Amino acid sequence: MRTLATIFSVWFLCLASAFGAEGGYHTLPFDAPVVVDLGFFKITNSMIAMWIVAGVIIFFAQLATRKISLIPSGLQNFAETIVEGLEGFLGGIMGTKLARETFWFFGSVFIFIVFANWMGMFPTVGTVGHYDVAADGTKSDLIPWLRGANADLNTTLGLALAFFALWIYWSVKHNGFGGFLSHIFVYQGEGAGFIKILLYVIFFLVGFLEIVSIMIRPLTLTLRLYGNVYAGENLLELMLQMGGQWFGWLAALPFYFLELLVGLIQALVFTLLTAVFTSLMCHHEEEGEHGH
Protein backbone atom coordinates (compact mmCIF):
# COMPACT_ATOMS: atom_id res chain seq x y z
CA MET A 1 0.00 0.00 0.00
CA ARG A 2 2.80 2.42 0.89
CA THR A 3 4.67 1.62 -2.35
CA LEU A 4 1.49 2.06 -4.39
CA ALA A 5 0.82 5.44 -2.78
CA THR A 6 4.37 6.56 -3.50
CA ILE A 7 4.09 5.51 -7.16
CA PHE A 8 0.83 7.45 -7.56
CA SER A 9 2.40 10.46 -5.82
CA VAL A 10 5.42 10.50 -8.10
CA TRP A 11 3.18 10.12 -11.16
CA PHE A 12 1.05 13.07 -10.14
CA LEU A 13 4.16 15.15 -9.41
CA CYS A 14 5.35 14.47 -12.95
CA LEU A 15 1.88 15.32 -14.26
CA ALA A 16 1.92 18.60 -12.34
CA SER A 17 5.31 19.48 -13.80
CA ALA A 18 3.91 18.91 -17.27
CA PHE A 19 0.92 21.14 -16.58
CA GLY A 20 2.96 23.72 -14.68
CA ALA A 21 3.81 25.94 -17.63
CA GLU A 22 0.34 25.81 -19.20
CA GLY A 23 -2.25 25.27 -16.51
CA GLY A 24 -0.59 27.02 -13.62
CA TYR A 25 -0.50 23.99 -11.32
CA HIS A 26 1.98 24.28 -8.49
CA THR A 27 3.33 21.85 -5.92
CA LEU A 28 4.61 22.05 -2.38
CA PRO A 29 8.07 23.70 -2.41
CA PHE A 30 10.98 21.59 -1.21
CA ASP A 31 12.17 24.26 1.22
CA ALA A 32 9.89 25.26 4.08
CA PRO A 33 9.21 29.04 3.74
CA VAL A 34 10.43 31.35 6.49
CA VAL A 35 7.44 32.87 8.29
CA VAL A 36 9.28 34.88 10.94
CA ASP A 37 12.81 36.20 10.35
CA LEU A 38 14.49 37.31 13.56
CA GLY A 39 17.85 37.75 11.90
CA PHE A 40 19.80 35.39 14.12
CA PHE A 41 16.97 32.84 14.07
CA LYS A 42 14.55 32.01 11.28
CA ILE A 43 11.21 30.33 12.00
CA THR A 44 9.74 28.24 9.18
CA ASN A 45 6.14 27.14 8.87
CA SER A 46 7.13 23.51 9.47
CA MET A 47 8.76 24.51 12.76
CA ILE A 48 5.53 26.17 13.88
CA ALA A 49 3.60 23.02 12.97
CA MET A 50 6.12 20.91 14.91
CA TRP A 51 5.71 23.10 18.00
CA ILE A 52 1.93 22.88 17.74
CA VAL A 53 2.05 19.09 17.50
CA ALA A 54 4.41 18.88 20.50
CA GLY A 55 2.17 21.26 22.46
CA VAL A 56 -0.95 19.21 21.69
CA ILE A 57 0.76 15.99 22.78
CA ILE A 58 2.04 17.55 26.01
CA PHE A 59 -1.37 19.09 26.76
CA PHE A 60 -3.11 15.76 26.14
CA ALA A 61 -0.61 13.89 28.35
CA GLN A 62 -1.06 16.40 31.18
CA LEU A 63 -4.84 16.25 30.85
CA ALA A 64 -4.90 12.44 30.80
CA THR A 65 -2.68 12.11 33.89
CA ARG A 66 -4.13 14.99 35.91
CA LYS A 67 -6.24 12.71 38.09
CA ILE A 68 -4.82 9.20 37.93
CA SER A 69 -7.02 6.45 39.35
CA LEU A 70 -6.52 2.70 39.79
CA ILE A 71 -9.51 2.06 37.56
CA PRO A 72 -8.82 4.24 34.50
CA SER A 73 -11.59 5.92 32.56
CA GLY A 74 -11.94 8.60 29.91
CA LEU A 75 -8.70 10.14 28.69
CA GLN A 76 -6.59 8.17 31.16
CA ASN A 77 -7.98 4.91 29.82
CA PHE A 78 -7.35 6.04 26.22
CA ALA A 79 -3.77 7.12 27.03
CA GLU A 80 -2.99 3.91 28.89
CA THR A 81 -4.37 1.85 25.99
CA ILE A 82 -2.01 3.62 23.56
CA VAL A 83 0.99 3.25 25.87
CA GLU A 84 0.33 -0.41 26.67
CA GLY A 85 -0.24 -1.20 23.01
CA LEU A 86 3.01 0.46 21.98
CA GLU A 87 4.90 -1.19 24.82
CA GLY A 88 3.58 -4.60 23.81
CA PHE A 89 4.43 -3.93 20.15
CA LEU A 90 8.00 -2.91 21.01
CA GLY A 91 8.35 -5.71 23.56
CA GLY A 92 7.62 -8.27 20.86
CA ILE A 93 10.47 -6.84 18.78
CA MET A 94 13.07 -5.90 21.38
CA GLY A 95 12.22 -7.90 24.47
CA THR A 96 10.48 -6.53 27.55
CA LYS A 97 13.55 -5.16 29.33
CA LEU A 98 15.02 -3.29 26.37
CA ALA A 99 11.58 -2.03 25.31
CA ARG A 100 10.97 -0.50 28.74
CA GLU A 101 14.42 1.05 28.80
CA THR A 102 14.00 2.72 25.41
CA PHE A 103 10.22 3.26 25.37
CA TRP A 104 10.53 6.95 26.24
CA PHE A 105 12.13 7.51 22.83
CA PHE A 106 10.32 5.04 20.55
CA GLY A 107 6.90 5.73 22.06
CA SER A 108 7.37 9.49 21.79
CA VAL A 109 8.65 9.27 18.21
CA PHE A 110 5.72 7.13 17.08
CA ILE A 111 3.11 9.43 18.63
CA PHE A 112 4.84 12.55 17.29
CA ILE A 113 5.12 11.22 13.73
CA VAL A 114 1.46 10.13 13.67
CA PHE A 115 0.18 13.48 14.91
CA ALA A 116 2.56 15.43 12.66
CA ASN A 117 1.51 13.44 9.59
CA TRP A 118 -2.19 13.84 10.32
CA MET A 119 -1.89 17.52 11.12
CA GLY A 120 -0.49 18.10 7.63
CA MET A 121 -3.92 17.17 6.26
CA PHE A 122 -5.90 19.77 8.23
CA PRO A 123 -7.80 22.11 5.86
CA THR A 124 -5.93 25.26 6.94
CA VAL A 125 -2.44 23.75 6.64
CA GLY A 126 -0.78 25.07 3.50
CA THR A 127 -3.72 27.29 2.52
CA VAL A 128 -3.76 30.07 5.13
CA GLY A 129 -0.87 32.52 5.15
CA HIS A 130 0.32 35.88 3.88
CA TYR A 131 1.92 37.49 0.84
CA ASP A 132 5.18 39.40 0.68
CA VAL A 133 4.76 42.72 -1.16
CA ALA A 134 7.75 44.01 -3.14
CA ALA A 135 8.70 47.69 -3.48
CA ASP A 136 6.91 47.88 -6.85
CA GLY A 137 3.71 46.58 -5.31
CA THR A 138 3.82 43.04 -6.75
CA LYS A 139 2.78 40.19 -4.49
CA SER A 140 4.70 36.99 -3.96
CA ASP A 141 3.14 33.54 -3.94
CA LEU A 142 1.22 32.63 -0.81
CA ILE A 143 3.50 31.91 2.15
CA PRO A 144 1.53 29.44 4.32
CA TRP A 145 1.77 29.80 8.06
CA LEU A 146 1.70 26.03 8.53
CA ARG A 147 3.21 23.08 6.69
CA GLY A 148 3.34 19.41 7.64
CA ALA A 149 6.29 19.01 9.99
CA ASN A 150 7.48 15.79 8.34
CA ALA A 151 7.18 17.36 4.88
CA ASP A 152 10.35 19.24 5.83
CA LEU A 153 13.63 17.39 5.37
CA ASN A 154 15.08 19.11 8.45
CA THR A 155 12.49 17.51 10.75
CA THR A 156 12.96 13.96 9.50
CA LEU A 157 16.74 14.40 9.51
CA GLY A 158 16.56 15.57 13.12
CA LEU A 159 14.56 12.48 14.11
CA ALA A 160 17.00 10.18 12.29
CA LEU A 161 20.11 11.79 13.78
CA ALA A 162 18.61 11.71 17.29
CA PHE A 163 17.99 7.98 16.90
CA PHE A 164 21.49 7.40 15.49
CA ALA A 165 23.12 9.11 18.48
CA LEU A 166 20.97 7.11 20.92
CA TRP A 167 21.62 3.89 19.01
CA ILE A 168 25.38 4.36 19.47
CA TYR A 169 24.86 5.14 23.18
CA TRP A 170 22.65 2.09 23.78
CA SER A 171 24.96 -0.17 21.77
CA VAL A 172 28.07 0.85 23.73
CA LYS A 173 26.15 0.73 27.02
CA HIS A 174 24.95 -2.84 26.47
CA ASN A 175 28.11 -4.23 24.85
CA GLY A 176 30.98 -1.98 25.88
CA PHE A 177 33.10 -0.35 23.20
CA GLY A 178 35.06 -3.53 22.54
CA GLY A 179 31.88 -5.59 22.40
CA PHE A 180 30.34 -3.05 20.03
CA LEU A 181 33.23 -3.50 17.57
CA SER A 182 33.26 -7.26 18.15
CA HIS A 183 29.57 -7.46 17.31
CA ILE A 184 30.32 -5.93 13.91
CA PHE A 185 33.64 -7.51 12.95
CA VAL A 186 34.00 -10.79 14.87
CA TYR A 187 32.32 -14.11 14.07
CA GLN A 188 30.25 -15.21 17.07
CA GLY A 189 29.11 -18.69 16.00
CA GLU A 190 30.50 -22.18 16.28
CA GLY A 191 33.12 -23.82 14.09
CA ALA A 192 36.52 -25.47 14.08
CA GLY A 193 39.72 -25.60 12.12
CA PHE A 194 40.04 -23.98 8.71
CA ILE A 195 36.28 -23.25 8.41
CA LYS A 196 36.33 -21.22 11.62
CA ILE A 197 39.36 -19.22 10.48
CA LEU A 198 37.67 -18.60 7.12
CA LEU A 199 34.52 -17.40 8.86
CA TYR A 200 36.56 -15.01 11.02
CA VAL A 201 38.12 -13.51 7.88
CA ILE A 202 34.80 -13.26 6.07
CA PHE A 203 33.02 -11.64 9.02
CA PHE A 204 35.88 -9.18 9.47
CA LEU A 205 35.64 -8.09 5.84
CA VAL A 206 31.84 -7.99 5.92
CA GLY A 207 32.15 -5.78 8.99
CA PHE A 208 33.33 -2.90 6.80
CA LEU A 209 30.18 -3.27 4.70
CA GLU A 210 28.18 -3.24 7.93
CA ILE A 211 29.85 0.03 8.91
CA VAL A 212 28.75 1.54 5.60
CA SER A 213 25.23 0.22 6.18
CA ILE A 214 25.17 1.74 9.67
CA MET A 215 26.37 5.11 8.40
CA ILE A 216 23.66 5.40 5.75
CA ARG A 217 20.82 4.43 8.10
CA PRO A 218 20.12 8.07 9.12
CA LEU A 219 19.91 9.01 5.44
CA THR A 220 17.52 6.18 4.54
CA LEU A 221 15.31 6.87 7.58
CA THR A 222 15.26 10.57 6.70
CA LEU A 223 14.37 10.16 3.03
CA ARG A 224 11.83 7.37 3.55
CA LEU A 225 9.69 9.39 5.97
CA TYR A 226 10.16 12.72 4.20
CA GLY A 227 9.56 11.32 0.71
CA ASN A 228 6.29 9.61 1.59
CA VAL A 229 4.85 12.54 3.54
CA TYR A 230 6.00 15.15 1.02
CA ALA A 231 4.62 13.15 -1.91
CA GLY A 232 1.33 12.57 -0.08
CA GLU A 233 0.78 16.25 0.65
CA ASN A 234 1.60 17.10 -2.96
CA LEU A 235 -0.86 14.48 -4.11
CA LEU A 236 -3.68 16.01 -2.06
CA GLU A 237 -2.83 19.52 -3.25
CA LEU A 238 -2.78 18.44 -6.89
CA MET A 239 -6.11 16.65 -6.57
CA LEU A 240 -7.65 19.79 -5.10
CA GLN A 241 -6.31 21.89 -7.98
CA MET A 242 -7.16 19.45 -10.75
CA GLY A 243 -10.72 19.02 -9.45
CA GLY A 244 -11.39 22.73 -9.77
CA GLN A 245 -13.02 25.14 -7.36
CA TRP A 246 -16.19 23.10 -6.85
CA PHE A 247 -15.09 19.49 -7.22
CA GLY A 248 -11.52 19.61 -5.87
CA TRP A 249 -12.59 18.27 -2.47
CA LEU A 250 -14.38 15.36 -4.14
CA ALA A 251 -11.32 14.44 -6.21
CA ALA A 252 -9.08 14.58 -3.14
CA LEU A 253 -11.42 12.71 -0.77
CA PRO A 254 -10.30 9.11 -1.59
CA PHE A 255 -6.64 10.14 -1.36
CA TYR A 256 -7.33 11.95 1.91
CA PHE A 257 -8.36 8.70 3.60
CA LEU A 258 -5.43 6.93 1.94
CA GLU A 259 -3.03 9.48 3.39
CA LEU A 260 -4.53 9.03 6.86
CA LEU A 261 -3.55 5.37 6.58
CA VAL A 262 -0.14 6.17 5.09
CA GLY A 263 0.55 8.63 7.93
CA LEU A 264 -0.02 5.85 10.46
CA ILE A 265 1.97 3.31 8.44
CA GLN A 266 4.94 5.66 8.13
CA ALA A 267 5.03 6.14 11.89
CA LEU A 268 4.96 2.35 12.33
CA VAL A 269 7.69 1.84 9.71
CA PHE A 270 10.03 4.43 11.26
CA THR A 271 9.45 3.03 14.77
CA LEU A 272 9.75 -0.58 13.60
CA LEU A 273 13.01 -0.05 11.72
CA THR A 274 14.67 1.88 14.52
CA ALA A 275 13.51 -0.69 17.08
CA VAL A 276 14.87 -3.56 14.97
CA PHE A 277 18.22 -1.79 14.52
CA THR A 278 18.45 -1.38 18.30
CA SER A 279 17.34 -4.93 19.03
CA LEU A 280 19.92 -6.45 16.69
CA MET A 281 22.70 -4.77 18.65
CA CYS A 282 21.38 -4.95 22.23
CA HIS A 283 18.80 -7.72 22.54
CA HIS A 284 21.30 -10.55 23.03
CA GLU A 285 21.96 -9.35 26.60
CA GLU A 286 18.37 -10.13 27.60
CA GLU A 287 18.54 -13.47 25.82
CA GLY A 288 21.56 -14.31 27.95
CA GLU A 289 19.65 -13.51 31.11
CA HIS A 290 16.78 -15.76 30.04
CA GLY A 291 19.30 -18.53 29.37
CA HIS A 292 20.37 -18.49 33.01
The rounded distance, in Å, linking the Cα atoms of 13 and 31 is: 16
Residue 198 CB neighbours (<10 A): 12
Asked which of 122-131, 199-208, 242-251 is least confident by mean pLDDT, the reply is: 242-251
The rounded distance, in Å, linking the Cα atoms of 40 and 46 is: 18
Answering whether pTM is above 0.85, one says: no
Alpha helices in the chain (DSSP H): 2-23, 45-64, 74-94, 96-119, 153-185, 193-242, 244-282, 284-291
- Please give the pLDDT value at position 165: 95
The rounded distance, in Å, linking the Cα atoms of 235 and 242 is: 10
Q: Which amino acid is at 98?
A: L
Provide the pLDDT confidence category of residue 277 given band limits of 50, 70 and 90.
very high
The rounded distance, in Å, linking the Cα atoms of 266 and 55 is: 21
The rounded distance, in Å, linking the Cα atoms of 11 and 83 is: 38
Provide the pLDDT confidence category of residue 291 given band limits of 50, 70 and 90.
very low
Contact, 25 vs 13, CB < 8 A? no
Nearest in space to 225 (alpha carbons), one of 153, 125, 118: 153
